Amino acid sequence: MQPFAIDEAEVYPATHHFRIIITAGSASRGAIEALLADFTVASPLQAGHASAGGRYQSLQVAVHLPCRADHLRLDQALRAIKGVRILL
């Protein structure tokens, strides 16, 4: 079931920008980099801001996705990585 109806031909292919919040010091970044090897990365994974208390770290990446199925596959795989707290 799709979360909302879209005309895939109007949206894909497209470059999507992700912001990923991870637990600082976790192995999440390495797992994310390994996962991204299966996708066309338009802008490489890079560190963003750390939380004020240093507990969390944001990462940013842009990925070229040819279809909705690949978008959902990437989304689910990122959310399944231990240490990933929020995916935007």
Q: What is the pLDDT of residues 25-72, one digit of tens each?
A: 999 999 999 999 999 999 999 999 999 999 999 999 999 999 999 999
DSSP E strands: which ranges in the chain? 14-23, 40-50, 56-65, 84-87
Domains of the chain: 14-87 (3.30.70.260)
* pLDDT at residue 88 is higher than 90: yes
pLDDT at 10: 84
Cα gap 44→79, rounded to integer Å: 19
State the pLDDT confidence band at 11, using cuts at 50, 70 and 90.
confident
Q: Do the Cβ atoms of 61 and 43 come closer than 8 Å?
A: yes
DSSP state of 88: -
Cα gap 26→37, rounded to integer Å: 19
